[in-house]
Structures are given as C-alpha cells and as structure tokens.
Structure 1
Amino acid sequence: MEKNLLGVDIGGTKCAVIYGRLKGDDLEIVKKVKFPTTDVERTLASIREALQDLMRDCNLTAAQVAAIGVSCGGPLDSERGVIMSPPNLKGWDQVPITRLLEEWSGVKAALQNDANACALAEWKFGAGRGSRNMVFLTFGTGLGAGLILDGRLFSGTNGNAGEIGHIRLSDFGPVGYGKSGSFEGFCSGGGIAQLARSRAMERFQMGQKVAFCSSPADLESVTAQSVAEAAKNGDPLAQEIYRISGEYLGRGLSMLIDTLNPDTIVIGSIYARSGELLADAMQHSLDREALPPARAVCRIVPAALGDAVGDYASLSVAANALN
C-alpha cells in the first residue's frame, strides 16, 4: 500500500521540506523545497509556508499524509518532540517542533537527531538494507552514531545513545566534543583539519613545504577535503594524517563491535568519499583490537545514499513513526 510522507530537514545553513511516497520497501522522492536557515522565527515561518504550499501544490490533505518526520542536529528530546539549543542553530531553545508541525498541518509528526535519522535511512533504503543490528556513523563535520538493534532504532533512556564522538581514545590528540583525543577529534572533518594544521606547522617550523598549505598564514584554510586531495595525489604527509585517522577509526569501531556485536557498520561522509585513505590503518587496528568472532560477522561499508541522505533521513523518521 502506498503511503504519503512529509519530511523536514533542519540544518545549520539550510532547511528542506520533502514529499515522498513509500511503496513497500521503496521510497520515491516526489518534491523538495529548500530555503536558507536564518533566525528561529523566520525559519519556522519558512517551514510552515513551505509545508502548507507543498501540501496544496501536491493536492495532499491531512488525511492523505501518514506522518511527518523531522531530522535535526541535537541536543533534542525526541520523546517530546523538542529541539534543545543545538550549537549550529542559535536561538533554537526549547522549540516544540512536532507540536508546531501538527498544528500547521493536522498530521502526526516525529523528531529524531540527524544521526538517528540517517541510520534509519541507510537501514531501510541504503547500505544497511537487510541488517538487524546496524551502526551508522556520520563521520562528517562531527562524529555521531545511530543504532539499529534487534531491528529497531535504539535511542537510549533519554535520547543520548550513540554519542560516541565523546569517547576518549587517547590522552592527547585533536579536540572533538570539547575533549582532546576523542573519537570525534580523530574521526571528523574538523579533527582531521586540526591534525593537519598541527603537522603542517611542524613542517613550516623546519623550513619545509606542505602540499596542502602554502604558508602558515593559510593554515585556517586547511580542510579534511584539501588534505584528502593531497593524499590522493601521493603526498606522504597528507597520507600519514589519514593513516592516523584510520588507526583511531579502527580502535573506535572495535569498541562498537565488541560491545554491540553488529552485523553491519555503515560510515558516511568522509569515509564514503575517501575510505581508501583510511582502510588499511583501520583494518590493522580492527585486526589487533576487535574480538575475532564479533569482527567476523560484521561488515563495514560506506553509506550509499550520498547527498540525498538528508531527504531520505527525514522521510525515514516519518516512516519509522508508523511502526
């Protein structure tokens, strides 16, 4: 049976309202409306307008829409449907987003953080199809996880399950989640850039050149992407930076494998784009650290949905709310 779903993807720089049709195990993206994220009042007004316009333009009544799903960075309270001051959304303090959407549309709404939403998307429609116990890692600007355990999304006692970026893997290292040597510090775009800037400065102080940075004055322009490009072009320093990230990725994955015994780990963003730079060191750490019987049944794969994951994520929250 075909079901109409609506999704709201709230990001730090842009938002989208999406209309999708769920047909069995397949999800069709029918229409999408995008607009910039500004202050909270104007953005909420834009969400309301886009939602109501989309329903009107697609001839959808409230009775014809099964659910609305919202994907947003945390912290948030998914049980109450409240956004609670995410660092990338200034002024979004105690915003009752699901209640507002229900008032505007007459349709039941559900909220999940972006890692959980992406986990649902990759599990149902991407690289995790067929999994029963799956971990999704964001590995983008930051590092978070969404957990599918025994065929259901697991969010913990108060929605904080999967905040693995906070785990400390070393006493020293790049800062992530406000903690030196954290999983996010080693395995995120920001963390890789920090590590690259530190190593580049060491080279500059020794009078050496750096392939991905022309001078100390340009250190702030270094990104994980620019380092990856240099590594793919054969630069040894850039390759070493990704080797370090891959080593700690393997350590962190070993903890997840030994603790959760998943059949699949799906890794997004940087791993999906540059996994070949991380794979050897990651595998070496896994071989050294993970419990062999648990490692043997776990496949580690890149995310499959690419740039469309945000669309699928919010709609997947809606689909999950039907269960």
Structure 2
Amino acid sequence: MTWLAGIDIGGTKCAVAMAEYVQGRIQIKARDQIETPSVWSSALEDLDARLKYLIRTTGSYPEAIGISSGGPLDPYRGMILSPPNLPGWNDVPIVDYFLTRYRVPTALENDANAGAVAELRWGAYGHVKDLVFLTFGTGMGAGLIVNGQIVRGATAGAGEIGHIRLATNGPMGYGKAGSFEGFCSGGGIAQLALQRLADTVKQGLSLSPVWTQWWRNPSSLTAEAVGQIASQGDELAIQLLKEVGEWLGRGISILIDLLNPEVIVIGSIFARQRRLLEGPMHRILEVEALPENYRACRIVSSSFGEQVGDFAAFATAVESLEVQANNVTVCERNSTQP
C-alpha cells in the first residue's frame, strides 16, 4: 500500500486530497478544497497548510505528490506558465514549492493530459489505446492518448483545442472570440446566456422572472445557474444548452477526423447537462465527422464524475513514482556494468 497526495489547480477551485494506492487502484481517504485565489502564492500556502492537515488526519505521509493544472505549463521544469483561466499565475514554480517542503517525488501535468491518463488507467472502457479526454469545465482542453502514449508535443502544448476558432464571432475563450472554449466552457456558457438575454431585451420582449436577477447582476451568472434554470423547464436555457451541444459536436468532429480515437471522455459540464447536450452533439457529428471514424468512437462522460480532478492529480503522482522507479532501475543496471 502506498499513500499519495493529489493537488488539483482549477480556475474556480483548488483541491488537495490524500489516497491509498492499493493493487493499482486509488482509494481517496481525505480531501479539502478552496476557491482559487487570484494571488498564486496565497493559494500554495493555503494548499500546503491543508495538505499538512490531511497528513495529520490520516496519520500517513505521501510517497509522491501529483499536481494537475490547466495549461499552458511546463511539466519538465514544473512551472505553471500563464493559463487563461488563472490570471496572474505567471511562471509559478509549483513543483519546487512542494518538493522542497515534502521531499518526495513531485510532478506537474496539464489537467487534460492528467485526466486522459486517469481515464486510461482506471476508466470503465476496457482495453483502449486511443483516447481523448476533454475537460469542459472552467476551460476546454484535450488530453490525447495515441497508441497508449500521451501526446505532449514539442513544447508540451499539444491538446489546446480550446484555442481553435469555430466561428468568426462568439463568446470569448482562451483570448479568442468564437473559440471552442468560448462556446464550450463554464465562462463561455455564461457569456452566451447574457447575449441571448440582451437579444431578448433588444427585441422588446420581456424576460421571464427567473432571468431578471441575472440581467441585473450579470457578473454573477454561471454555467451552473444556467443548468439549474434549464432544469426548471425554462425554454431559453434549454435552447441555449442545446446550442452549446451543437458547438461541442463541431469541436469533437475535428478530433474524430484527425485522431480516429476509440473513446472520447468528457468531464464536468457534460456529465451535469448530458441530457440536453448529447442529442444536438450527435446530430452535428453525424453530418460533420467521417462516418467510419464516428462509428468507431464512443463518447462518454468521465468515470469519476465530480472527482475527475482528484483522479487526474493522483494519476500524475503514480507516474512520478514510476519515473523514479525506472530511474533507479537504470542506475542500478549501470552500476553493475564493468
């Protein structure tokens, strides 16, 4: 049995957790989370204090620490660079911060890549070699597994599909209007809802009472609120999420045509709003994706539900242990050579 620590850095929240790694499986034993501070040093101090508390609570010390964060980042130097959904988090030496305090193998990975590895290791999809994981949370990123290997690219920037422009105009995401992230992310859905409210008012139509508070206080509108309004039967919210489903289909069609994956796993918002997103998504895919590629691909929500960020971080911790073990093996072999 091995104890691991996982740290998930998100645009909305940060979480820290402790788990037992037993016979290749993760068993989460303790967890805490905070709202993501705008000042990264405050976030690291808070997460450090909470990890120390979880260590005392469990009575166990982690043998490795895995950190999952939105990109761009540099996993080789252990630096968070300047993610669009973490303003002010520029050149953050997060691996050094925790490595110097805990003295155990510590690794950083892009949240989409880490999510893809977690789904490959522990997801309920059988034996697959070609898998894509889409974050679809505060932002939109893709983790790409090709022939069983994570694809990072020349600068560890592969998979930033949220930056691809799907339309000339549209919600802003990843610094680009009409991007995949603009249409398919928490912030993008809120922007799209406000635009539809503005269109309604411009046409001289009255807003339903459920929308009035958000029109008066637009900065507080979230994708979660849109989903709750849709669940109450509001037609504007329902049609808006169906439109998001169509944009999701357009973005996924690129991945299906380009990579021909066996499985595409979608996290966070997709699982919560699947009943409204899935139908429109598939209708677009039937038109836009190569038929054989589309038929070969399963599109599913994450096996881990709301815990996907935790499992992503733990997948990174496991990989850091494996890297250390491989390095030790190589050193031992070299030391025996004449």
Q: What pairs up with 1:69-84 in 2 under 5 angstroms?
A: 69-84=66-81
- Sort the Cα spacing of 1:179 and 1:91 in 2 relative to 1 into closer, same or farther, 3 A: closer
Indicate the residue corresponding to 2:205 in structure 1.
208
SS for the counterpart of 2:17 is: strand
Indicate the residue corresponding to 1:19 in structure 2.
18
Alpha-carbon distance, 1:138 to partner: 1.3
Indicate the residue corresponding to 1:304 in structure 2.
303
Q: Distance in 1 between matches of 2:13 and 2:275?
A: 30
- The number of aligned residues is 319
Deviations 1:145-204 (A, max 9, x none): 111221122221111111101111111222222222211121122222222222222222
> What RMSD in Å do the two structures reach over aligned CA positions?
2.5
SS for the counterpart of 1:147 is: strand
- Sort the Cα spacing of 1:143 and 1:94 in 2 relative to 1 into closer, same or farther, 3 A: same
**Residue 91 of structure 2: which of 73, 91, 94 is its match?**
94
**Residue 158 of structure 1: which of 155, 160, 175 is its match?**
155
Structure 1 residue 265 corresponds to structure 2 residue 264: yes
- Sort the Cα spacing of 1:221 and 1:287 in 2 relative to 1 into closer, same or farther, 3 A: same
Q: Distance in 2 between matches of 1:186 and 1:34?
A: 27
Structure 1 residue 187 corresponds to structure 2 residue 170: no
Structure 1 residue 315 corresponds to structure 2 residue 334: no
Q: Distance in 1 between matches of 2:61 and 2:217?
A: 54
Q: Distance in 2 between matches of 1:35 and 1:214?
A: 30
Q: Given that residues 165 and 183 in structure 1 are in contact (C-alpha distance below 8 angstroms), is that contact kept between their aligned partners in structure 2?
A: yes
- Sort the Cα spacing of 1:169 and 1:92 in 2 relative to 1 into closer, same or farther, 3 A: closer
Indicate the residue corresponding to 1:103 in structure 2.
100
The letter of the residue matching 1:22 is: Y
SS for the counterpart of 2:207 is: coil
Structure 1 residue 145 corresponds to structure 2 residue 142: yes
Alpha-carbon distance, 1:130 to partner: 3.2
Alpha-carbon distance, 1:32 to partner: 2.7
- Sort the Cα spacing of 1:7 and 1:178 in 2 relative to 1 into closer, same or farther, 3 A: same
Indicate the residue corresponding to 2:254 in structure 1.
255
Alpha-carbon distance, 1:316 to partner: 1.1
Q: Given that residues 118 and 313 in structure 1 are in contact (C-alpha distance below 8 angstroms), is that contact kept between their aligned partners in structure 2?
A: yes
The letter of the residue matching 1:254 is: S
Q: Distance in 2 between matches of 1:276 and 1:174?
A: 23
SS for the counterpart of 1:95 is: coil
Q: Distance in 1 between matches of 2:33 and 2:166?
A: 38
**Residue 193 of structure 2: which of 166, 181, 196 is its match?**
196
Q: What pairs up with 1:207-226 in 2 under 5 angstroms?
A: 207-211=204-208, 212-214=210-212, 216-226=215-225
How high is the TM-score relative to the length of structure 1? 0.88
Q: Distance in 1 between matches of 2:286 and 2:41?
A: 51
SS for the counterpart of 1:214 is: helix
SS for the counterpart of 2:211 is: coil
Structure 1's unaligned 5+ residue stretches are none
The letter of the residue matching 2:27 is: E
Alpha-carbon distance, 1:88 to partner: 4.6
Alpha-carbon distance, 1:93 to partner: 3.0
Structure 1 residue 45 corresponds to structure 2 residue 62: no
Indicate the residue corresponding to 2:118 in structure 1.
121
Indicate the residue corresponding to 2:288 in structure 1.
289
Alpha-carbon distance, 1:76 to partner: 1.3
SS for the counterpart of 2:273 is: helix
How high is the TM-score relative to the length of structure 2? 0.84
SS for the counterpart of 1:30 is: strand
Q: Given that residues 75 and 113 in structure 1 are in contact (C-alpha distance below 8 angstroms), is that contact kept between their aligned partners in structure 2?
A: yes
Q: Given that residues 21 and 28 in structure 1 are in contact (C-alpha distance below 8 angstroms), is that contact kept between their aligned partners in structure 2?
A: yes
SS for the counterpart of 1:165 is: helix
Deviates more, 1:288-297 or 1:130-139: 130-139
User: Stretches of 4+ moved more than 6 A in 1?
Assistant: none
- Sort the Cα spacing of 1:312 and 1:240 in 2 relative to 1 into closer, same or farther, 3 A: same
Q: Distance in 1 between matches of 2:278 and 2:93?
A: 42
- Sort the Cα spacing of 1:251 and 1:61 in 2 relative to 1 into closer, same or farther, 3 A: closer
Deviates more, 1:112-121 or 1:84-93: 84-93
Q: Distance in 2 between matches of 1:81 and 1:285?
A: 39
Deviations 1:200-230 (A, max 9, x none): 2222222323344127434444433333334
Alpha-carbon distance, 1:3 to partner: 2.7
SS for the counterpart of 2:157 is: coil
Percent identical: 46
The letter of the residue matching 2:160 is: E
